[in-house]
Structure 1
Amino acid sequence: MSTNQLNPTAKKRISSIDILRGLVMLIMLLDHVRERFYYHMPVSDPINIDDTSTGLFFSRILAHLCAPIFVFLTGLSAWLYAHPKGKPSRSASSFLWKRGLFLILIEITLINFSWFGNYQTLYLQVIWAIGVSMISLAFLSKLNHKWVGVLGFLIVFGHNLLTSIHLNEDQIGYTLWTVLYQRGFILPNDFIAIKASYPVLPWIGVILLGYFTGPLFGEKFSAEARLKALVKIGLSCLSLLMLIRGFNIYGETLPWKIQDTFIQSVMSFLNFKKYPPSLDFILLTIGIGCFLLCLFEKVQNRLTEFLRTYGSAPMFFYILHLYVLLIAYKILVNIYGTNQGEYFGFDHLWQIWLCMVLLSLVLYIPTKKFSDYKRRSTSKWIKYF
């Protein structure tokens, strides 16, 4: 009899993580289709609700779920790696820093090229941020588990106090501060421009909290206790958000205001800063993520299996979809030209959603084949994908 037969919740626990990861990958696909084919309708950070349609606003807000949940699950998965079921605990440090370096290498080579088809500007984006966060966790996971959580809470809840600190290029510490928190161009030179698009400090806090939450998925917690804990965490995040955002107390640089209509007021309330992610941004997304983990542990059907496939091979899918979008864009430009000023783009937002759905179906088979190959393979490098 297999381990999963002896403990029927074991498989569901891991599946719920992969299913949620798969969901955010498909939401990410939607956002990247938007960036590729709706770039003539730019979205600022925070979003300018006066110039952004309701549909585009909520499409972008939906995409806010991706990075925080993925980074949180990365920390959670690192704890599971360090505490394999039925086996002695092991250090995750070696795997984390090697994996982190691998992600940074992939970011500055394959992924950066996939955005523009050139290397004129090197953008350090989400994969870079995950890589740096994993390297940070490789060292910080050596701390007592309680202190990992304390440090994660201090970073996530305290980093908004740093928003007033701004350094100019000629000031000492500019490059380090830009990488950690400020966002902007670093190491200016005539050869290549480098932009730190994802300041890493808050993401380090998120991955630490994910690692700290890991024991909920360990052997000491029953399914019932885990679900109750996740619900409490989710409710705590969203309740705190309603309080500090509702009264514009703390956690966001742009205060919300009552608008002319209810929907515009909701848009103002949800208009959170992503670069770097504000406390309110993190509370919303992690709170929703905890409820989704509960849902996906209880619900197992064809849709969740579809999502699980994408969540089981996220890096492969990430690279694959970016190059599919790049090649498709080049082909359409050659056929139709630039129909939206200097860009080729779709006229309507529904076309973005339709394109995302079609791509999710088309890319399922290669992702499934790679996922199956990854599961069978004994190659250590394949596991990094």
Structure 2
Amino acid sequence: MGVASSSERFHEVDAMRGIAVVMMIIYHVIFDLNFLGAMELDMNSSLLWLTGRLAAFLFIFLVGVSLSLSHSRRGPGSHGHYIKRGIRIFLYGLLITAVTWIYPHEGFIVFGVLHFIGVAVIITYPFAGRRALSVIAALLVLAAGMWISGLRVDTPFFVWLGLKPHGFCTLDYFPLFPWLGVVLLGIFTGDTLYPGYRRRWKREFPARNHTLEFLGKNSLAIYFIHQPVILAFIWFLMNI
């Protein structure tokens, strides 16, 4: 198996995250053009929906892969680190909630991708290194998520689980069910392909894309700045 030092990053994981970043930016450019009225676009088109969902799937799946890699590198007994990390990411999510409450307000983000990732890091880290348990839990969570997705309740207090009130509307929504299942699948994949923080295969990928790797390594920062940059650029073009 290909051996990696404890400080080495697996460039293919960063590149996959970089692909998700590119897809996210493409989706949000189209969304913002429509939102600001610069162009009339069909936001319900299958291709656009698939682009947004696939970007989200990749991001969340790679959260699980990264948890697996981190567990292999750090070893057991590091749960305190992940509690702190999860809380920090969740607080970033609350910042997004506050900003979207101010603008655009309508459809402000209640439990978006950062809220979800923050909670998921804390909940799913104990599954790292337990392949059978993680894949069984993934299938159960995905099945439960499919079941409750069509349910509606009379209270907003269970939105984070996937139980939506009637008329619920938000710009970004990633409840624990079914998305925890995607993280768990990522953990299973990471444990399978990188046991002991080593690649299971011997050969490196034939080519590397350093741009994608850069985007993947800086995905959180890009997530924060890309929407204001896109909105400002579109507004500028509309007003010159």
TM range (shorter): 0.7 to 0.9
- Residues 90, 12 of structure 1: CA spacing in aligned structure 2 closer, same or farther, 3 A cutoff? closer
Shift of 1:11: 9.7
Q: Does structure 1 residue 311 correspond to structure 2 residue 216? A: yes
Gap change, CA 1:183 and 1:222, over 3 Å in 2: same
Q: Distance in 2 between matches of 1:217 and 1:195?
A: 35
Alignment of 1:287-306 (within 5 A): 298-301=205-208, 304-306=209-211
1:298 counterpart SS class: coil
> Compared with structure 1, are the counterparts of its residues 126 and 8 closer, same or farther at alpha carbon in structure 2 (3 Å cutoff)?
closer
Which 4+ stretches in 1 moved above 6 angstroms?
Answer: 8-13, 193-196
Deviation string, structure 1 residues 116-170 (Cα, Å, up to 9, x no partner): 74667641322222222212224x438955323211121124432334432123x
The corresponding residue for 1:162 is 148
Aligned to 1:60: 49
Secondary structure (helix, strand or coil) at the match of 1:223 reads: coil
Instruction: Spell out, residue by residue over 1:209-242, the C-alpha distance to the aligned partner (whole angstroms, 9 max, x if none).
Output: 2112222212466316xx9xxxxxxxxxxxxxxx
The whole-number CA distance in structure 2 between the counterparts of 1:134 and 1:15 is 21
Q: Deviations over 1:34-58 (max 9, x none)?
A: 11112354656xx4xxxx4xxxx42
Please list the CA deviations of residues 286-333 of structure 1 after superposition, one character each: whole Å capped at 9, or x if unmatched: xxxxxxxxxxx62424xx111000001111111121221233244345
1:214 to 183, 190, 194: 190
Task: Choose the corresponding residue for 1:175, options 142, 154, 157.
Answer: 157
Give me the whole-angstrom Cα distance separating, in 2, the residues matched to 1:27 and 1:144: 31
Residue in structure 2 matched with residue 99 of structure 1 by the alignment: 85
Letter in 2 for 1:95: H
Give unpaired runs (5+ residues) of structure 1. 1-5, 228-296, 337-385
Deviations 1:335-368 (A, max 9, x none): 25xxxxxxxxxxxxxxxxxxxxxxxxxxxxxxxx
Would the alpha carbon gap of residues 185 and 317 (structure 1) be closer, same or farther in structure 2, given more than 3 Å must change? farther
Aligned to 1:132: 119
Structure 1 counterpart of 2:67, from 78, 82, 96: 78
In 2, the alpha carbon distance for the partners of 1:162 and 1:323 equals 34
Task: Using structure 2 for the length normalisation, give the TM-score.
Answer: 0.79
Paired amino acid for 2:189: T
- How far has the Cα of 1:199 moved from its partner? 2.1
> 1:204 is matched with which residue?
180
What is the identity percentage for the equivalent residue pairs of Structure 1 and Structure 2?
Answer: 20
Partner SS state of residue 207, structure 2: coil
> Could you tell me how far apart the structure 1 residues matched to 2:24 and 2:93 are?
16
Distance 1:136 1:163, change over 3 A: same
Higher relative contact order (CA 8 A, sep 6+): 2
Which structure has the larger Rg over C-alpha atoms? 1
